[in-house]
Structure 1
Amino acid sequence: MERGDVRGHYEELAAEYDEHWVYGPDYIPWMSGQISEALRLSPTNRIADIGSGTGLFAREVARQLQPRHPILCVDPSEKMLRQLGTPPPPGLTPIVASAEDIAEGRADLPYEQVDAMWLKESVHHITDQPRTLRGLADRLAAGGRLLVVMLPATIQYPLFQAALDRFEELQPDPAHIQQHLSAAGLDAGLTHVEHELRIDRDKYIGMVRARYMSLLSTFSDSEIEKGIEEMRAAHPEPVLVFPDRFAFVLGERPGENV
């Protein structure tokens, strides 16, 4: 997708975004806990969520962590950030900027350096991944950590086949992201986490129709409806059960935080 298309997709989805992404009551706390654990977050860390959207995960991390410094919710969509509320909740600071803006110093941040940052399912929107990830790595303090959370190269979602095929064509390889972080001077490693999703079939079809994944915005209305017919035929069961597997690519800047 082109950058303008991506931004327009999320602008249109902003008001309904949380509804489409909260699969169930356990998902957000689980993923937020996985992010906190992987980044070894502490209340004294200066933290940034790059591509935060509506702040679904930053809000939960802040609730669990009670940070002394507000978590920076960085996103290019002002409409998405507005969903944080006015004023935003304690512990969160919205920043209207893209990952590239942060990487290239075009956005002012309240922290000169950060101790931890994460990108949750947004790295595939970055055009020049090596350059942008290097720029983000340069914003880390000594001992700072950068976590890229992304879907693997293949997924087992109950989508229609054309969507699954297009996903595989467009999705970056997590191993390449690990290489980019290593080239940026970080000690990088790759692990995986998995969570079982159980979701009402009709709700999931509604999410697909609303194009809850940016991938789906590359299909026309008629293609989406044809795909939904295929999904209904392939999945007559009322509740869909499938694994949500994520690659966690973690890079750490050498040195110790002080």
Structure 2
Amino acid sequence: MLSIKNWDNNTWISSRKYIKSFNNFLVKQKKLTKRSKILDIGCGRGKIIGSLSSKLKLVNKPIGLDIEKHKDFDKRISFKKTNAIKYLTNNKKKFDLILIKQTIHFFNLREIMKILRFSHDSLEAGGVILILTLDTKNNEIPTFFLMKQKLNHSFKRDNLIWKKLLQLNINKNITKFNFKVNVKKNTYLKMIKQRYISTLLKFNSLQISKGINEINLKYKKNILFNDKLKCIIFKKV
């Protein structure tokens, strides 16, 4: 599985404003208390659920899973460097919230079905699974030509995954999360160079360099756009 090291590292995703906005979104989808138990699949540095832990004064540390262990992972979470299927197969704990944010596309359809089955079995009654992925309609992420092509290609697979999720015979609800991004162009160029999104991982250095030049010419000093995510919520009744 490909690993993204910089998605939540010095990007708008790691900003206090984004984290606060996203955590407000989470507590609107599921009523949580200080005794709530939370699992984040593909947690990155764990800043989101770490902040949520402080906000709710959680008695139990939220658990974060990722295949990449960052030196600066949030100490407010219980981090486990492991594959989601491996963890869930052996899991005996029950959770009130299982979060899968912008990581579901790293798995094939068979793996996704396993993850959902195991995740559903790992929920408390009334617990929820939140799966968030990029909104493929009118997506506003700033791109260069090759990046746009690659992103559109990946959206075809994302739409197939989404269609399969909607077909599942599980209590579900659909919602969206939008965040207004205001990022300095120089900061965004560094993010491109660091391959902050999976779309960029297989580009070579020359393609990244040309892309940076294209973005530099295309945008002004500040880049404004909406980061749009669609969310499907599965509830255990």
TM-score, reference length from structure 2: 0.88
Q: Write the letter of the residue equivalent to 1:118.
A: L
Give the 3-state SS of the residue equivalent to 1:218 in structure 2: coil
For the residues of structure 2 that align with 1:253 and 1:103, how far apart are their CA atoms? 16
How big is the shift at 1:147?
0.3
Distance 1:58 1:148, change over 3 A: same
Equivalent residue, structure 1, for 2:84: 99
Are the aligned partners of 2:182 and 2:224 in contact in 1 as well (CA < 8 Å)? yes
Matches within 5 A, 1:167-206: 167-171=151-155, 172-173=157-158, 176-177=161-162, 179-180=164-165, 183=168, 186-206=170-190
Matches within 5 A, 1:78-93: 79-80=69-70, 82-84=71-73, 88-89=75-76, 92-93=77-78
Q: Which among 19, 29, 33 is matched to residue 24 of structure 2?
A: 33
Equivalent residue, structure 1, for 2:50: 59
Q: Which among 43, 48, 59 is matched to residue 34 of structure 2?
A: 43
Give the 3-state SS of the residue equivalent to 1:118 in structure 2: strand
How big is the shift at 1:161?
2.3
TM-score, reference length from structure 1: 0.82
Q: Does residue 1:163 correspond to 2:147, yes or no?
A: yes
Q: Write the letter of the residue equivalent to 1:133.
A: L
How big is the shift at 1:20?
3.2
Gaps of 5+ in 1: none
How big is the shift at 1:27?
1.2
Q: Does residue 1:134 correspond to 2:117, yes or no?
A: yes
Q: Could you tell which deviates more after superposition, 95-104 or 118-127?
A: 95-104
Q: CA RMSD in A?
A: 2.2
For the residues of structure 1 that align with 2:160 and 2:57, how far apart are their CA atoms? 33
Q: Write the letter of the residue equivalent to 2:89.
A: E
Equivalent residue, structure 2, for 1:74: 65
Q: Could you tell which deviates more after superposition, 96-105 or 237-246?
A: 96-105
- After superposition, give the CA deviation of every residue in 1:29-80 in whole Å (9 maximum; x if it has no partner): 1112212322322222111111111101111111211112111111122x22
- After superposition, give the CA deviation of every residue in 1:194-230 in whole Å (9 maximum; x if it has no partner): 1110010110011111111122112111001111111
For the residues of structure 1 that align with 2:202 and 2:61, how far apart are their CA atoms? 36
Q: Which among 221, 229, 233 is matched to residue 246 of structure 1?
A: 229
Equivalent residue, structure 1, for 2:103: 122
Gaps of 5+ in 2: none
Q: Write the letter of the residue equivalent to 2:187.
A: K
Equivalent residue, structure 2, for 1:143: 126
How big is the shift at 1:187?
0.8
Identity percentage of aligned residues: 19
How big is the shift at 1:28?
1.5
Give the 3-state SS of the residue equivalent to 1:190 in structure 2: strand
Runs of 4+ in 1 over 6 A off after TM superposition: none
Are the aligned partners of 1:195 and 1:244 in contact in 2 as well (CA < 8 Å)? yes
Equivalent residue, structure 1, for 2:136: 153
For the residues of structure 2 that align with 1:63 and 1:176, how far apart are their CA atoms? 33
Equivalent residue, structure 2, for 1:217: 201
For the residues of structure 1 that align with 2:158 and 2:53, how far apart are their CA atoms? 30
For the residues of structure 1 that align with 2:181 and 2:159, how far apart are their CA atoms? 22
- After superposition, give the CA deviation of every residue in 1:159-197 in whole Å (9 maximum; x if it has no partner): 1122122112123446844743762x5311211121110
